Structures are given as C-alpha cells and as structure tokens.
Amino acid sequence: MANAITTRRTDRLFEELPVGVDTVALSPGETMRYFTGLDMHKSERPTLVVLFRDGPPAVVHPVLEGDRIEEALPDAERFTYGDATDPVEVGREAFDRLRAERTVTDPIGVEFRSTRLLEQEVFAPSGEGAVDIEDAVSTLRARKDPEEVERMRTAAGIIEDVLGEVFDLIEPGMTETGIETEIRKRVMESEADGFSVGIVTSGERTAHAHANTGERAVESGDLVMIDAGVIYEGYYSDITRTVAVGDPDEELREIYDVVQAAAAAARDRVAPGVELQEIDRAAREVIEDAGYGDYFPHRVGHGLGLEGHEPPYLVEGNDATLEVGHAVTVEPGVYVGGLGGVRIEDDVVVDENGADVLTTSSRDLRVL
C-alpha cells in the first residue's frame, strides 16, 4: 500500500465489512484516494483499485497511467490494457485476468454512490455480485484523524485570511462577480490547492440560500453574503460570512442577531454522543422562537473533508450520534424574500471536549 496510514484504513474497512466480502473495487474519486493515496481523475478509460482482505492490492488500468500508479502503489499487482476502440471491453479482459489469477469471488464490495456504470461494466456487467459498502466507507471517512484535522484547519485559515482582505475592498458599485474574482485571485496566490466553492450575493439576492454569483452591483445599505472555501492537500474548508456595506435595514440587523445566536447555540450543542438532529434543532429553536422558522429552509450542516459535502448530515430525522473526529459545518440561515438573508457558517470538528471550531474569524456583524 501507499503508506502506513492507508494500510491501516484498509484494515479497518474490512473490519467494518461483513464476513464474505473479501474484495473491494474502488473507482477514481475521493474514496480511492482515502484508502490508497492514488489520486486519479475520471476518464473514458476505466481504472479500478482492487483491495483484498488478505493480500496486496491490484490495479486494473490503462498502460499510459502506469507511472502515476507506480508512484502511489508500488507494491500493487497491475493488470494493464492498451488503448482500444472499446476501453470497457479491454478493461474487462484485464479484470478477468485479475479475477482468475487472484481467485476473485463474489460478492465484490463497491461504493454505489460514486462508482460509475463505466467501471461497473468492467467488474460486474450485469450488476450481480456487487454489494454496497457505502455505510462502511462513510463511517471510516467521517472519523478524521489528527493529520486530516490539521489540513482542514489550514484550509479554514486560508479562506478566512482571503475573506479578511477582500472585505476591505468591498464598496458600493462593486459587483458580485468582481468580489468573487478578488477572492479567486487571492486563493490562487495562497498555498491552497484550489478554490472549492464560491457564492457571492448582495441586497435582496441574499434571500436566495443558494444562488449563482451575479452581476448585481452592491449598494449602500446592502448585506453581502459570501460562501467560500478552499482545498488544501485534498481537504476542504467551507465558510459563510455576511457583512453590511453601510447601515443595513433594522430588520436585517435583527435577522443577523437571530442567526448569530442560532449558530452559537448549534456550535455549543456539538459533543460526542449527541444526535446529529439535535444540532439542527438547537439552531432551529432559536430561529423559530424569533418568528423566522419559515425562512430557514435547509439543514443546519453537513460533513466536510475530502469532499465539500459528505456524511454525516445534521438534519432532522438523523438520530445517529456525533463521534470524535467528525468534521461538520454549522450554518443556520434566515432568508426573507424581498428583503434579504443572513447565513453564518463555521467548520467544526468534534473532540473529546465538544466542538473544536476551525474557523475563528468574528461572527459579529461587520459594517464596511
């Protein structure tokens, strides 16, 4: 395997899987990277890393990807194929060689959420013999180890520094796209791998919980809501701050105070053993008591890590419990059509004492 960390993760994966599932097939994506260290893009040429309960991994891959795979998985047995009119057909032939040599038997564990039909056509054309390992994968990926947490902390710090600089530039007449451009420029100049998410809305458009950044020019008295994050060494940050350009409407100030209190209540509720839905309830109770319950249309948060959105989800009905190492966003919001909206989003990791809040910038209303 790539290193001791990925070996340990693979061992834990098979501990989570039922007896009889002795083979796992991973297609390109975050889960492949998590368990093997191999960062492969999806292409028209199928690639599969095959993990075994006993024995070294194997890789089915096109010949031209050999150097990349050798670097990440030098001890893996490789079953290659060349370019052909039908890459699935030759990929299947390579997998059949693997199946015969390594005595691969059904069922084969596969992550249904991310495995494309392209790869399925290689190892299980009819779909028979494949079993979903999503629950086991999600359980393991959700428990961040200290190295993962520090990468996420760095990612959070990078975007907070960037937003701090950009806030100083915002003024009436600046467009939403202009603001996002300034964010992107600074992310490119930072140590981040890249920009992960960007939504900038202003004025009445802040009443849209999710919207594309637009061409609207900021006016005096507007709220500006920025949802942004970066990727650092593969790990995401995701933060939202809402600021005012000049003095905002009195009701918008009231909404801001309500959301700020709701966000604090939710963060304070984060602790090992607490049901995920309880974090949502903590924020929602504050918002409902203030009379804005109908204007909070989304869950209070989601998991964060190798993806911007991943399990666990902080939503009503999810009675699973928080565990040490879970990394989540806490992001209540209130959005009133024709007026505007507010969201405050932080990145939080569960530790033995409660919430380790990775985002540290002020949550008080900043008036620019």
Instruction: Tell me the pLDDT tens digit for each residue of 318-363.
Output: 999 999 999 999 999 999 999 999 999 999 999 999 999 999 999 9
| Judgement on whether residues 204 and 284 belong to the same structural domain of the protein | yes
| Judgement on whether residues 50 and 99 belong to the same structural domain of the protein | yes
For strands 23-26 and 108-110, give the pairing. parallel
**pLDDT band with cut points at 50, 70 and 90 for residue 1:** very low
**pLDDT band with cut points at 50, 70 and 90 for residue 19:** confident
| Judgement on whether residues 202 and 65 belong to the same structural domain of the protein | no
Output DSSP code: residue 323.
-
Amino acid at 97: R
Residue 26 pLDDT: 95
| Judgement on whether residues 33 and 112 belong to the same structural domain of the protein | yes
d(CA 285, CA 367): 27
CATH of the domain at 134: 3.40.350.10
d(CA 66, CA 202): 48
For strands 130-132 and 108-110, give the pairing. parallel
| Judgement on whether residues 273 and 227 belong to the same structural domain of the protein | yes
Domain closes at, from 126, 141, 156: 141
d(CA 299, CA 226): 18
d(CA 195, CA 186): 10
Residue 6 pLDDT: 86
Lowest mean pLDDT among 84-88, 202-206, 245-249: 84-88
For residue 70, how many C-alpha atoms fall within 13 Å in the half-sphere facing its CB? Answer: 7
Domain closes at, from 92, 123, 141: 141
pTM for this model (two decimals)? 0.92
| Judgement on whether residues 109 and 177 belong to the same structural domain of the protein | no
Q: Count how many domains the chain has.
A: 2
Residue 222 pLDDT: 97
| Judgement on whether residues 248 and 120 belong to the same structural domain of the protein | no
| Judgement on whether residues 150 and 131 belong to the same structural domain of the protein | no
Q: E strands, 264-303, where?
A: 301-303
Which domain, by its residues, includes 40?
Answer: 4-141
CATH of the domain at 201: 3.90.230.10
pLDDT tens-digit map of 87-126: 999 999 999 999 999 988 889 999 998 899 899 999 987 6
| Judgement on whether residues 165 and 308 belong to the same structural domain of the protein | yes
